[in-house]
Amino acid sequence: MKKIALISACLLGLPTRYDGLAKADQRVLDLKEHYVLVPFCPEQLGGLSTPRKPAEIRDEKVINIAGEDVTFHFIRGAEISLDIAGKIKPDIVILKENSPSCGVHSIYDGSFSGKKIPGEGYTAKFLKQNYQVFSEDELANIKIF
Q: How far is the CB of 40 from ligand SF4 (least distance, A)?
A: 7
List 6, 12, 16, 64, residue binding ligand SF4 (CB under 6 A) = 16
Instruction: Tally Cβ neighbours within 10 Å of residue 30.
Output: 11
List 10, 63, 92, 107, residue binding ligand SF4 (CB under 6 A) = 10
Tell whether residue 8 is a contact of ligand SF4 (CB under 6 A): yes
Site string for ligand SF4, 38-77 (x = CB under 6 A): ---xxx----------------------------------
Q: Residue 133, exposed/middle/buried by CB under 10 A (0-12, 13-18, 19+)?
A: buried
Judged by CB under 6 A, which stretch of 55-63, 85-93, 99-107, 134-142 contacts ligand SF4? 99-107
Strands (E) located in the chain: 3-8, 35-40, 55-58, 61-64, 92-95, 106-108, 116-118, 133-135
CA–CA separation, 58 and 144 (whole Å)? 33
